[in-house]
Amino acid sequence: MQFSITSQFLHIFSLTIFIIITSSLSQSSQFCDAGTEIPSSKLLIKGGTVVNAQHHQIADVYVEDGIIVAVNPNIMVGDDVTVIDATGKYVMPGGIDPHTHLDMDVGFTATVDDFFSGQAAALAGGTTMHIDFVIPLNGSLTAGFEDYEKKAKKSCMDYGFHMVITKWDETVSREMELMVKEKGINSFKFFMAYKGILMINDELLLEGFKKCKSLGAVAMVHAENGDAVYEGQRKMIELGITGPEGHALSRPAVLEGEATARAIRLADFVNTPLYVVHVMSIDAMEEIAKARKAGQRVIGEPIASGLALDESWLWHPDFEIAAKYVMSPPIRKRGHDKALQAALSTGVLQLVGTDHCAFNSTQKARGIDDFRKMPNGVNGIEERMHLVWDIMVESGQISVTDYVRITSTECAKIFNIYPRKGAVLPGSDADIIILNPNSSFEMSAKSHHSRLDTNVYEGRRGKGKIEVTIAGGRVVWENNELKVTPGTGRYIQMPPFSYLFDGLDKKDAIYLNSLQAPVKRAKAST
């Protein structure tokens, strides 16, 4: 992958326009099905402020056949180029959502958003790539991957896969190698919760961490103490607290903090990078902060709901309203949100996901008499980019360059697809958004593009509206209209050994060299 990206950059700077156009046209069939109307393959975004994670400048962006060819002031083009005026607006990399669950089967039901509706919603909100979690099928990673390949055939934007590990044996170990070496997966998720379903114990967690390290794959954890959560759930039901509030009470922040600390220490013992998904509490955030201060390679991912909401909604007297906020780990008390925002602004936490896992009100009603039976999950794939801008940029907590970093670039770097993704640079994929800082947005189930009949951000208004989304060089969102076609998305393979692994071998060598020789002892006399 690194070689192909480097070659792509060299082509753009050293080959003639004729060769660029010829090679690009040969790729166009993977964007549109036969018979689909293909929009202009040449695009000029004029006069905007181009923002990357390191800098911003007023410049034009020229795109040919899905690739950014030039970023310079005053680019001159011919009449066959579509021009978009971005004067007074920000031109930024499309968002990358590192944490989604589309078309996920949970046994008794499945999430309402599939790879078309969920991705269409994402594009309307300025996200141009996401990474979904593959669930093994009948214990097989390979069968699970093939199942998700089929699900994703209707995709309308680029996507990647993480792989969930639910058990451990030699077959799983071999399949992990296959996923990394042949299928383009470079991350594996381990659940420390959901006892009896997905949860694995510390012994298996250690085995998984060791395998991830050897493969150059990122180890990810859902950090809650599953045994304690199970006991908390039993206690709430025994006390007659059966509604959505029981969900929050049964899995307090201290259990998230404990599991986060345990995962961090085990990852340190193995000396492998760790990625903590959906950081929802001060407790978990503080454990990550301590580890990073000590030099450990730990990534913390807060999600949109944790930054924007508080748990009071779970006590709403209307069950349908309360139920839509049920997710795991739970949305926390007021104060946790502000602390997570501060940690994001200071670099303690690195990037923002959504854990978009959409179940409608009918599906949630399964738990009306017992919160344990309710499918967990909230929306966010469409709302994330606007929420982060409004909460973090408009409040002055972060700069526009930091906005790009936490919504796009850092994800691309962690999962080793930068600068193909996560940048507005020559040679990068033309996944671009245009944001008008003077426009406003409003969120509602009536206007969103998800199939969900509710929205946890219902009625929320804010400043900073994404007016144009460009995915793979195609304008897919403009004038509040979606222009998407099933089957036009691409699976993006993610190579192993991202920057998180740089120098780990040296740390191992230093440790081994520091060990004293074994003590020589005389044999005991008989």
Whether 434 and 129 have beta carbons less than 8 Å apart is answered as no
Tokens 């975004």 sit on residue:
45
Which pLDDT belongs to residue 526?
66
How far apart CA 158 and CA 122 sit, in angstroms, is 11
How many Å is the Cα radius of gyration of the chain? Answer: 23
pLDDT digits (tens, 9 = 90+) for 417-435: 999 999 999 999 999 999 9
- pLDDT for the residue 517: 87
For residue 69, what pLDDT is reported? Answer: 98
Residue 382: what pLDDT? Answer: 99
In a domain? residue 208: yes
Structural domain count of the chain: 1
Instruction: Identify whether 262 is part of a domain.
Output: yes
What pLDDT is stored for residue 270 in this prediction?
A: 99
Instruction: Read off the CATH number of the domain in which 435 is found.
Output: 3.20.20.140
Is 11 within the bounds of a domain? no
Instruction: Quote the pLDDT of residue 29.
Output: 28
Residue 288 lies in a domain: yes
Short-list 466, 487, 525, CA closest to 153: 487
Q: What would the DSSP string read from start to end of 171-213?
A: HHHHHHHHHHHHS---EEEEES-STTTTB--HHHHHHHHHHHH
| Global confidence as pTM | 0.92
Euclidean distance between CA atoms 32 and 484, whole angstroms:
10
User: Quick check: is 520 in a domain?
Assistant: no
User: Which two three-digit tokens encode residue 146?
Assistant: 């093939």
Look at residue 515 and tell me if it is in a domain: no
Q: Domain span at residue 198?
A: 93-483+491-501
> So what's the pLDDT on residue 447?
98
Q: What is the C-alpha separation between 418 and 425, in angstroms, rounded? A: 11
Whether residue 12 is contained in a domain is answered as no
Residue written as token pair 């400043």: 463
Residue 201 burial by Cβ neighbours in a 10 Å radius (0-12, 13-18, 19+): exposed
Cα 314 to Cα 321: distance, rounded to the nearest angstrom = 8
What pLDDT is stored for residue 87 in this prediction? 99
Query: Which parts of the chain register pLDDT below 50?
Result: 1-38
Q: Which one-letter amino acid corresponds to residue 106?
A: V
Question: Is position 472 within any domain?
Answer: yes
User: How high is the pLDDT of residue 40?
Assistant: 54
In whole angstroms, what is the distance from residue 142 CA to residue 162 CA?
13
